[in-house]
Each structure stands twice: as structure tokens, then as C-alpha cells.
Chain A
Amino acid sequence: EVQLVQSGAEMKKPGESLKISCRGSGYSFTSYWIGWVRQMPGKGLEWMGIFHPGDSDSRYSPSFKGQVTMSADKSISTAYLQWSSLKASDTAMYYCARQLGGSLSLGRISFDVWGPGTRVTISS
């Protein structure tokens, strides 16, 4: 079964760092792009960016560029999303999702497999 398993909920303070994970299984992890999506409480979906675990290529949404870093460890089929200095406004649910098909055609992006989400709460 193809699935993405995400790390557990996190509670952090403003200014702290954080790295959440997304482990893929049931498919060739290095052959598919992984996207990250934010959903703030009671709000809609926001695309943060997309990362290729095979060659570390990436595309960031202008809204999130410089705010987060995407990465992956191929050896354990795991993608990461990290922050160096959290803000209260980072409080949200974060989903990883697999891009449909192995190649990235920007005009045809869609996400066919989603992780269950990691809830991140930032509060002093």
C-alpha cells in the first residue's frame, strides 16, 4: 500500500526550531516529488512547495521561500520540512503529499497520496 506517514503533533515556543517528517512507503520514494501544504486553523489549503527526494530539486511558493526548508533523507525514505525560528503564525496543520506521476510538469501538478498531517502549535 502506498502511504505517507507523518511525525506526531508538536508544541513549540516562538523562536524555537522544528523539523517535521514524512516517510513514504509502498513506492519508489526517490521517483516522486513530495509537496507540502499548510492549513491554518479554520482556513483553506496553502501550497508551500515541492521537493524531489531523488535529486533534491525544489520549488518554493514565494509566500514560503526563506521561511521554511524542504529536504529529504533517501536512505530512510523520509522528507522533511523545517523552521529555524518559529512564529505564532506558524500554528497550523502541515500535510505532505505525493505528486501524481514521477515527473514534474508545473502545469499539471496534482497530489494523489496525502499524509495524515502534523499539527504544529506555537505558543509562548
Chain B
Amino acid sequence: QSVLTQPPSVSAAPGQKVTISCSGTSSRIENNSVSWYQELPGTAPNLLIFDNHKRPSGIPDRFSGSKSGTSATLGITGLQTGDEADYYCGTWDASLSSFVFGTGTKVTVL
């Protein structure tokens, strides 16, 4: 049972925007950096966002990350069919002495 809660699914039409929330506690999100991963069907996860809002090279600026208090948010603008995937947040949990992933969110492009 993950300690980082994400909505099970979000959806929007092509070109629209979706946001995915990642909710935790102070020992997790508030005091540590959050990263976000995209898992396309049948492939390994891919890093989208690190240190709450930074994008690795090669990740388009359609993807954005933010954090406020005990929640983090991934935003995807200009939604494309190729964005259909599972998305996971992750952060260090000091109370568990463990890195933890969120419950995962499936993005569907209508």
C-alpha cells in the first residue's frame, strides 16, 4: 500500500491539459524532492521531472512539475495520444527510511 496517493485515472481530449496530484505527508513530500515517471505500455519507466520541477534533457516543456506543502502536481499540456501511459510520483519517506512511489495514474486521451 503506497503512502503517496494519486488519482487512479485522468482523461482529456487531444490538445487539452491534465494535472495529476500526488499527496503525502510532511515526512514525505514537504521535506523532500519529488520526481515523476512515465510508464508507456510495455516499456520501462522514464524520468519526466526531478527535484520537483526540473526536466531532464529531451523532455518537452509540455510536462511540468510543482510542489506545495504536502502535495505535488504533474501537468501535461497539449495532450497527445502518445501521452497515454501510467504516471508515478516518487519521493523519500524519512519515516519509512525508504523511497516510495505513488499509487500511479493512468492518463487516457479521449
How many residues of chain B get a CB closer than 8 Å to chain A's CBs?
A: 30
Confirm or deny: B63 has a beta carbon within 8 angstroms of a beta carbon on chain A: no
Chain A nearest Cβ from B59, distance in angstroms: 10
The 0/1 profile, CB within 8 Å of B marked 1, for residues 61-99 of chain A is 111000000000000000000000000000000010100
Chain A nearest Cβ from B17, distance in angstroms: 24
Return the chain B residue nearest A99 by Cβ: B99
The 0/1 profile, CB within 8 Å of B marked 1, for residues 94-124 of chain A is 0101001000001111111011110000000
Question: Which of B35, B43, B91, B96 makes the CB contact (< 8 A) with A111?
Answer: B35
Instruction: Decide: B56 and A108 in contact? CB cutoff 8 A.
Output: no
Q: A44-B103, A47-B100 are in contact. Are A110 and B46 (CB under 8 A)?
A: no
Instruction: Decide: A116 and B50 in contact? CB cutoff 8 A.
Output: no
Instruction: Decide: A63 and B31 in contact? CB cutoff 8 A.
Output: no
Instruction: Decide: A110 and B96 in contact? CB cutoff 8 A.
Output: no
Question: Which of A37, A110, A116 makes the CB contact (< 8 A) with B51?
Answer: A110
Return the chain B residue nearest A45 by Cβ: B101
Instruction: Decide: A63 and B98 in contact? CB cutoff 8 A.
Output: yes
Return the chain A residue nearest B32 by Cβ: A107
Return the chain B residue nearest A115 by Cβ: B44
Instruction: Decide: B31 and A107 in contact? CB cutoff 8 A.
Output: yes
Confirm or deny: A20 has a beta carbon within 8 angstroms of a beta carbon on chain B: no
Question: Which of B31, B37, B90 makes the CB contact (< 8 A) with A109?
Answer: B90
Confirm or deny: A53 has a beta carbon within 8 angstroms of a beta carbon on chain B: no
On B, residues with C-beta under 8 Å from A are 2, 31-33, 35, 37, 39, 43-47, 50-51, 56, 86, 88, 90-92, 94, 96-104
On A, residues with C-beta under 8 Å from B are 35, 37, 44-47, 50, 59, 61-63, 95, 97, 100, 106-112, 114-117
